[in-house]
Amino acid sequence: MLSRAFTKPKRSFKEYGENSRSGSISEYDDCIVGFIDDLPLIPCENNGPSLSLKEVLRTSVSVMGENARGLTEKVVLSNARLCTLKRFRKVIVRKSEFGRRVEKLAQVCNNCDYLVPITAYLYAKRIKLVVSDYYPMGSLADLLSGGRRGQTALNWNERVIIIESIARAISFIHGQSPETVKNMKMNVHGNIKSSNIMINIDLTARLSDYGFVQLADCVEDCDTKEKRATTHNIYCENLSQKSDVFNFGMVLLDMLAGVQDLSYMDCIVKLEESIKQGDIPFFEFHMKGKERKQALKVLEIALACTSSLPETRPSIHQILFDLTHLLKTSK
């Protein structure tokens, strides 16, 4: 099946070994806190919780992910509230600028139902972190990977809800005005990918990590360099709206057929007509009739988004219009 060829197995976090730097903060927080005083986190909400550095470090229970920019952990606070903690490896701005940028990003996130709210942040000498809401369903990457391992896979209607949610999140970001605030681009996300799409219980989605590429730089250790050398990065890392659209298109292809390798793009374009005619199995889930027509239209949108010529890629507002029209006329 063609869709099977497009999917590559993902390594779980545990596979990186005991000597990896991926351990939970709670395993060595005493060492960190021993060098610095306990500090209060700065809330991003008027009625936000009062948190301290020691509390978030010592209530960290598991690692959710790691990349060249930092570590993401699940935190269970004393009042049983769940949060997500993102600790950056290398912040690229000074303390006052870091706080100003996080607060600006939080204002945008906390005013959109399709972005993950930012709760609090801290800039200390040895640690820089941001706290945001936690989503027990995990990320889109988690759900897609689980379905491919034999767990309950997302059906087409569930995928449509997620697709529309992501498009609305990007549209909200791209519509920000003013576009730039003191050298920070407010109308670009910069890191759209399936692992940054968090899923609600009702299967609507929220986009996380908005603007974080303007807070921290990538720092690769031996493990991350080795991983990068053996895997394909399917997402564009340029800070522009056209790159956001490209990455959205790659998310769509992943949701449609598990496409996780750019080398298959030319193949998909050449075989598009055969896929439409049903001569080649492409989609990784069963559907027919109205659902298949919708999926084929989404495939067209995905291929337009991932055009090698940025100037030919549609705007997210046009994409959202097409998606909304598609869903209305297909009911």
Residues linked to residue 71 through DSSP beta bridges, in sequence order: 66, 87
Residues linked to residue 257 through DSSP beta bridges, in sequence order: none
**Whole-angstrom Cα distance, residue 296 to residue 209?**
30
Q: Which domains are delineated in the chain?
A: 34-133 (3.30.200.20), 138-222+234-329 (1.10.510.10)
CB 252 within 8 A of CB 163: yes
SS3 64: strand
SS3 292: helix
Q: Quick one: tokens of 138?
A: 């995990």
Predicted pLDDT at 331: 55
Chain centroid to Cα 64, Å, comes to 12
Distances (CA, A) of 318 to 10, 71, 321, 323: 33, 35, 5, 9
pTM confidence score: 0.86
Nearest residue to 331 (alpha-carbon basis) of 298, 302, 293: 293
| Cβ contacts of 60 within 8 Å, gap of 6 or more | 24, 25, 26, 29, 73, 74, 75, 85
pLDDT tens, the chain, 331 aa long: 454 444 444 443 333 233 333 344 444 444 454 445 789 999 997 656 689 999 999 998 899 988 889 999 999 988 888 999 999 999 999 999 999 999 999 999 999 999 999 999 999 999 999 999 999 999 999 999 998 888 888 999 999 999 999 999 999 999 999 999 999 999 999 999 999 999 999 999 999 999 999 999 988 765 555 555 444 567 887 899 999 999 999 999 999 999 888 878 888 988 889 998 888 889 988 888 899 999 999 999 999 999 999 999 999 999 999 998 887 765 5
Q: Quick one: tokens of 266?
A: 């030319």
